[in-house]
Amino acid sequence: MTDRVLVSPAELFGDGVFETVHLRPDGPWLLDQHLARLSRSAARLGFTASTDEAAARVAALPPVITESALRIIQTRESLHVTVSPIPDSVRRERRSGIRVLSAAVGPRPPWSLSAAKTLSYGPNFAARRWAQAQGGDDCLWVSLDGYALEAPTASLVWLAGEELCSVPPEEAGILAGTTAAELLSRAGSAGLRPVFRMITLDELARADAIWFASALRGLAEVISLDGVARARSPWSPRLSALLGY
């Protein structure tokens, strides 16, 4: 990321929220939706997000020439807005797809922050390192009773016939994906029917196509799931184009 920021040591303990926004030459994409989620995340942590201030700082940014990563980070004490390049690994995953390993995660305790995008991101990084240590690129979290949930830094999207699907955030207790919701809202223009529903890992393995959706990657196609290779889908370039990636 770009500049260094001055914080109190207490701000280093992951007790805040953030958003990653795809910053395009024509402006930050889906900014309102990201700010709304920042606000919901902060509310779950018991504080109020400075969304007006964040919007003002984003509006004051100079335009970018190439796509970039915009991060809006808010601790209980301060707000930070940063711009950084899209990592090469992200571009590669968009282009070449990702090998995914599934792993069960336990039921969430009553204070769970799993529906908030918090700065306590250590376990998310650790989950990806775990997948990478086994020759994968990323990890798919599955409930103890076998339902696919989400990835450490992305939402799950899949195609089943003419249905373009994602996991219902409230029912699953997961983060509501901004990119996935936008994709489903545009499904009709691609002749597909948007559906939010639960899916078991077994059923997912039989889907026509699977993607991880997030602001920087857009859609990264799952090219292998738990070691089983999957054919590339002709829908990957179509749906990516639909989202402007």
Q: Which residues contact a copy of itself (rule: CB under 8 A)? A: 1-16, 18, 45-46, 71, 73, 75, 80, 82, 103-113, 118-123, 125-127, 129-130, 139, 144
Token readout for 93 is: 């995953």
Per the rule left: phi > 0, alpha: psi between -120 and 50, beta: everything else, 46 is left
CB of 136 to a copy of itself, least distance (A): 12
Rounded Cα distance, 66 and 228, in Å:
35
CB of 129 to a copy of itself, least distance (A): 6
151, exposed or middle or buried, with CB in 10 Å at 0-12, 13-18, 19+?
Answer: buried
Q: Which is nearer to a copy of itself, 216 or 242 (CB)?
A: 216
Q: Which is nearer to a copy of itself, 9 or 191 (CB)?
A: 9
DSSP annotation of 114: T
* C-alpha of 213 from chain center: 6
CB of 233 to a copy of itself, least distance (A): 29
* C-alpha of 65 from chain center: 24
Q: Which is nearer to a copy of itself, 60 or 231 (CB)?
A: 60
Q: Which is nearer to a copy of itself, 98 or 131 (CB)?
A: 131
Indicate if the alpha-carbon torsion angle 105, 111, 113, 118 is positive or negative: negative
Q: Which is nearer to a copy of itself, 128 or 186 (CB)?
A: 128
CB of 141 to a copy of itself, least distance (A): 8
* DSSP-derived pairing of the beta strands 209-214 and 155-160: antiparallel
Beta bridge pairs of residue 19: 72
Half-sphere exposure of residue 127, counting CA atoms within 13 Å on the CB side?
20
Rounded Cα distance, 10 and 68, in Å:
29
Largest CA distance in the chain: 52
Q: Which is nearer to a copy of itself, 16 or 177 (CB)?
A: 16
CB of 164 to a copy of itself, least distance (A): 29
CB of 83 to a copy of itself, least distance (A): 10
